[in-house]
Amino acid sequence: VQLQASGGGLVQTGGSLRLSCAASGSTSDYYAIEWFRQAPGKEREVISCISSSDSGGRTYYADSVKGRFTISRDDAKNTVYLQMNRLKPEDTAVYYCAADRSNYWYCSQLVYDYFGQGTQVTVSS
């Protein structure tokens, strides 16, 4: 499967962005999708994931984004979205999506095999 992340940009503190992860090359509803981010000088941080539709589309959020970010999937469009609200300067990073072909319920415990290119999110103070 090939993944294409998009939707990043420059936004002020408190603003919103919606990232998209479009999958091609395979049936996306069998895949769990993860979003992670990488900021300069910081470790990679997994921020959210969603299990496959066959396993109920269960979601996970890191504490740092819980209550502000929402992950969702539209299998008809082969796309997973990450709605990011109340953005903070510390959310500034390159955001990546990854996929794993699995029906396991707990997407946060999967090892992801496919990766898309990143999209830059910059939040100004």
Contact 26, 33 (CB under 8 A): no
At 36, the pLDDT band (50, 70, 90 cuts) reads very high
d(CA 38, CA 73): 22
At 75-125, the pLDDT tens digits run 889 999 999 999 999 999 999 999 999 989 899 999 999 999 999 999 999
Helix (H) or strand (E) holding 13: none
